[in-house]
Structure 1
Amino acid sequence: MFTGQVFKMKVELLEEVAYTLNLHHNEEIHSIAMNDYIGKRIRLRYDGDIHCIKCGKKTKTSFGQGFCYPCFTSAPEAAECIIRPELCRAHLGEGRDPEWEERNHNQPHFVYLAATDVVKVGVTRDHQIPTRWIDQGASSAIRLAHTPNRYLAGVLEVALKDHFTDKTNWRKMLKNDIDESIDLEEVKWELEEQLPSDLTEYFSDDDEIVEINYPVLAYPEKVKSLGFDKQPVIEGELKGIKGQYLLFDDNRVLNMRKHTGYIISFEEI
């Protein structure tokens, strides 16, 4: 049995995505190769403790995927521009923590297109590719544009929202409801004719379409969402992993990222 604080699963893009669940306990990290447990029965137990991933203090409720409320309202990692990059002020030397913003947001960003049942537009840092795509459960993705900072990437994303969603339909994603007819390269270059030239100047010449395969034995037919707050012990056969979700038997799914900061135990049964 392993016990520790949940952080989002680490991913590596191989023939199938390789997932590692890291449970942090004091100075130790228990690294669990989750692919090894697919097809086996596992148990996850939550005993009621949540600790803020920023300050470490115990909190009754997790805000913004792992923060206590004071950190949620003050930490740069939880600022509004994380969700809405067009509001970023890092390029102006401003923000909740200007030094943090300079290191993380006043840096090159990619705008990308990702395919599931529809085409989705998103923004991420260079080093978060392909992690960001995997976390969203994309079946394929392509780089659209390369901007010098997060703000400009956000402006471009907003311009694209008239054409595409920036939200993932997580139920369809988990059922593997994919539109095989989507041609991301064709969609990308059609946009060049529709957007203002001050935005298309950032278009990337990299047309590689990255295909992503997930370690799944069977996808749920009707998604039943699980959560530790209502069900502190979750067990069953692990049918697969997609995005940041564990897929169990009986069409049950557990969003591990939603429970960032929770103290849980993990064991094979």
Structure 2
Amino acid sequence: MVYTGVLTKMQTEFQNPIQYYLVFKNDFIHVNQLLNKSITMTYVGSECLNCGLNREIYRQGFCKSCFFDTPNAGDWIMRPELSTAHLGKEDRDIEYEKKVQLQPHIVYLANSSNIKVGVTRKAQIPTRWIDQGAHEAIEIVEVPNRYLAGITEVALKDYVADKTNWRKMLKNEIEDEDLKEWRQRLKSHIPTEVKDYFIEHNEETHLHFPVHQYPEKPKSLNLKKEGTYSGNLVGVKGQYFIFEDNTVFNIRANEGLVVEIGI
């Protein structure tokens, strides 16, 4: 059977293990059912996730024109401390920015390759942790807008990482940490205007991924360059396919590619 569609971030369900779905326009694939099966992926073309045109993908699934125009790719997406909707100040589209920025946000600690601090909308918990391949996570603060979450993240980055080492995450080189202890350790570094939003009492969330075999030396697949690839799928973690020959493929990083997947 062959499925054809535009790659977008896999949708997930928080179960044990995590359930993954590749969703195309007219069909979907329950990825967990592909484990220990041989699949073939073929690059067909590109389709911008914003304008829908057959244009080369620049970043985040968008063509270059859309990347610098759509509110979905504003600087505040990656740097929440730049959010300005709480001031009524527009970046690209004030209505969209109000909708996204002026809702509850969580600052959290996640452990995937190391302890890291991050920001996400409350509605994206635990999806954000799943996408990062974190095996454990905990909320630190819950604030009413993205800006307050952003300045908290900036303040805490001096004391804990804000990036994931994707190779260590995929190799499962992990150590369990006491995230409640880490949260208390970082409490004094939270900005004054955010201290009242500190979460005192909650437990760690633990996540379990459908992986039968971790890669010893993960090598990233560039499907656009290779054209086609076949391999035995042995795991899914974060937004990565993991294959038996140590090849890994980042679905999120390849959003906007049109592919054929043969099973």
Q: Quickly name the TM-score band, shorter chain normalised.
A: over 0.9
Could you tell me how far 1:147 is from its partner in structure 2? 0.9
Residue 53 (structure 2) pairs with residue 68 (structure 1): no
Aligned to 2:15: 14
Q: Letter of the 1:64 partner, please give it.
A: R
Which has more helix, going by share of residues?
2
Residue 57 (structure 2) pairs with residue 56 (structure 1): no
Residue 227 (structure 2) pairs with residue 267 (structure 1): no
Q: Do 2:171 and 2:214's aligned partners in 1 also have CA atoms closer than 8 Å?
A: yes
The TM-score, its normalising length taken from structure 1, stands at 0.94
Separation of aligned partners in 1, 2:255 and 2:192 = 41
Q: Render the CA deviation track for 1:41-84: whole Å, top value 9, x for unaligned.
A: 1111112x111101111112x12221011110011110111111
Could you tell me how far 1:133 is from its partner in structure 2? 0.4
Aligned to 2:40: 43
Residue 258 (structure 2) pairs with residue 257 (structure 1): no
Secondary structure of 1:201's aligned partner: helix
Q: Letter of the 2:5 partner, please give it.
A: G
Could you tell me how far 1:195 is from its partner in structure 2? 3.5
Q: Letter of the 2:6 partner, please give it.
A: Q
Could you tell me how far 1:198 is from its partner in structure 2? 2.7
Aligned 1:84-233 pairs, distance under 5 A: 84-93=79-88, 94-180=90-176, 182-233=177-228
Secondary structure of 1:193's aligned partner: helix
Could you tell me how far 1:196 is from its partner in structure 2? 4.3
Separation of aligned partners in 1, 2:80 and 2:171 = 29
- Number of aligned residue pairs: give it: 261
Could you tell me how far 1:31 is from its partner in structure 2? 0.9
Separation of aligned partners in 2, 1:75 and 1:214 = 33
Q: Letter of the 2:34 partner, please give it.
A: Y
What percentage of residue pairs aligned between the two structures are identical? 46
Secondary structure of 1:237's aligned partner: strand
Could you tell me how far 1:9 is from its partner in structure 2? 0.4
Q: Do 1:108 and 1:148's aligned partners in 2 also have CA atoms closer than 8 Å?
A: yes
The TM-score, its normalising length taken from structure 2, stands at 0.96
Separation of aligned partners in 2, 1:193 and 1:106 = 25
Q: Letter of the 1:34 partner, please give it.
A: V
- What RMSD, in angstroms, separates the aligned Cα atoms of the two structures? 1.1
Structure 2: gaps of 5 or more residues? none
Mean Cα deviation higher: 204-213 or 230-239: 204-213
Q: Letter of the 2:28 partner, please give it.
A: S
